């Protein structure tokens, strides 16, 4: 694991965007795994800037989003499809038919087969080259809440009360937050060739310390990344504040050979 501590979310997002841009330049038909939430907003803004000002090309790329609410009409303002349209898709040259996000208005009896088909679609695209992740205050990745199987695949999950209340600001009232979601599993995420997890703010410091320096446990889903061969954590100072080996991570980053930098 590589732990990269930057002075603020802007700097961490700019660096993250450079990793993604490098991948797209080396492999224009790359498959990106995308996240929603407040954390990747600055990253997406920087990717849009790179597209507009430096010609970063998404035209041959494919994207798969981690998750989506269930029991929401497709045109609801809080769907992750809408979030992605507004914050990335409509501003870059991704082909709409190459942007995959689980469907929010599936009837219950179709969910299991749909989730298998989503996994199959990822395989058909050649697997995810780079997965972007945020992290919940309880250590969740995607919507894999604590105690999710480390081998889990795309499936329906029930949100915890904490995640529902964290996400309530995006809905007209807390009661409107759906109880159920579709999410890629931890096993699905671990198959991505490369992972970039972003975490900003003091509210993420406990989850980050537990994920990086704590034991591997399904109680902290992001600790599963300890098993990944190419996982990078891009943190601001506040999210890194409870790591005991901060000096070491900074030292390693400062010593990196130039050719390893994006
Ligand atoms: C979103 C997702 C979630 C978020 C996490 C953090 O697609 O998968 O795991 O990354 O809940 O959310 P924010 O970034 O809003 O703090």
Q: Is 140 a catalytic residue?
A: yes
pLDDT of residue 151: 98
How far does the centroid of ligand 1 lie from the alpha carbon of residue 134, in Å?
5
Q: Considering the entire predicted model, what is its pTM?
A: 0.97
Please, which residues have CB within 8 angstroms of residue 58's CB and are 6 or more apart in sequence?
24, 51, 92, 93, 94
Q: Is 187 exposed, middle or buried (0-12, 13-18, 19+ CB in 10 A)?
A: middle
Q: What is the DSSP secondary structure assignment for residue 141, as one 8-state letter?
A: B
DSSP string, 5-23: EESSHHHHHHHHHHHHHHH
Q: Is 166 a catalytic residue?
A: no
For ligand 1, what atom is nearest to the CA of residue 40?
14
pLDDT digit string (tens) for 26-70? 999 999 999 999 999 999 999 999 999 999 999 999 999 999 999
Mutate to test the pocket of ligand 1, among 12, 34, 37, 169 (most ligand atoms within 8 A of CB): 37
The mean pLDDT value for 205-230 works out to: 98
Number of separate helices (H) and strands (E) present in the chain: 9, 10
**What proportion of the chain, given as a percentage, has pLDDT over 90?**
96
Rg (CA), the chain: 17
pLDDT digit string (tens) for 129-171? 999 999 999 999 999 999 999 999 999 999 999 889 989 999 9
How far does the centroid of ligand 1 lie from the alpha carbon of residue 36, in Å?
6
* Calpha distance 239→234 (Å, rounded): 9
Determine phi and psi for 149, rounding to 5 degrees.
-60, 135
Q: Could you tell me the pLDDT band of residue 261, with boundaries at 50, 70 and 90?
A: confident
Q: Is 191 a catalytic residue?
A: no
Query: Is domain 2-256 in CATH 3.30.420.40, yes or no?
Result: no
pLDDT of residue 39: 97
């Amino acid at each position: 694991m590589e732990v990269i501590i930057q002075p603020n979310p802007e700097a961490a997002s700019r660096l993250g965007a450079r990793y993604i841009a490098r991948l797209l330049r080396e492999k224009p038909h790359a498959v990106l795994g995308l996240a929603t939430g407040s954390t990747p907003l600055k990253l997406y803004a920087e990717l849009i800037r790179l597209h507009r000002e430096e010609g970063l090309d998404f035209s041959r790329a494919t994207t798969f989003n981690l998750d989506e609410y269930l029991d929401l009409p497709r045109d609801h303002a809080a769907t992750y499809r809408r979030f992605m349209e507004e914050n990335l898709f409509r501003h870059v040259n991704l082909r709409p038919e190459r942007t995959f996000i689980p469907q929010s208005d599936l009837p219950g009896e179709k969910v299991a087969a749909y989730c298998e088909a989503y996994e199959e679609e990822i395989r058909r695209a050649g697997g995810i080259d780079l997965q972007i992740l945020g992290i919940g205050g309880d250590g969740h990745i995607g919507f894999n809440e604590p105690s999710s199987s480390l081998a889990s695949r795309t499936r329906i999950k029930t949100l915890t009360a904490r995640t529902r209340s964290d996400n309530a600001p995006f809905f007209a009232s807390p009661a409107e937050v759906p109880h159920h979601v579709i999410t890629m599993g931890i096993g699905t995420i671990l198959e991505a060739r490369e992972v970039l997890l972003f975490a900003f703010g003091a509210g993420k410091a406990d989850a980050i310390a537990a994920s990086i320096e704590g034991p591997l446990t399904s109680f902290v889903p992001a600790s599963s990344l300890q098993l990944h061969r190419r996982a990078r954590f891009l943190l601001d100072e506040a999210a890194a504040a409870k790591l005991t080996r901060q000096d070491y991570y900074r030292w390693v980053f400062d010593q990196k050979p130039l050719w390893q930098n994006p």
